[in-house]
Amino acid sequence: MQSLLQHDRLDEDLKDLFIFRTNINSRHNYAIVEGSLLQRRGVHACTIDLDDCDKVLRVECENIPMSVIVEEVVKLGFLCQELAD
Higher-confidence position of 38 and 3: 38
Answer for the pair 43, 61: CB distance below 8 angstroms, yes or no.
yes
Mean pLDDT of 20-35: 98
Answer for the pair 64, 16: CB distance below 8 angstroms, yes or no.
yes
- Whether pLDDT at 20 is above 50: yes
Q: Which domains does the chain have, with CATH numbers?
A: 15-82 (3.30.70.100)
- 3-state per-residue secondary structure call for the chain: CHHHHHHHHHHHHCCEEEEEEECCCCHHHHHHHHHHHHCCCCEEEEEEECCCCCCEEEEEECCCCHHHHHHHHHHCCCCEEECCC
- Whether pLDDT at 13 is above 70: no
Higher-confidence position of 10 and 22: 22
- Whether pLDDT at 2 is above 70: no
Distance in angstroms (rounded) separating the CA atoms of residues 12 and 20: 20
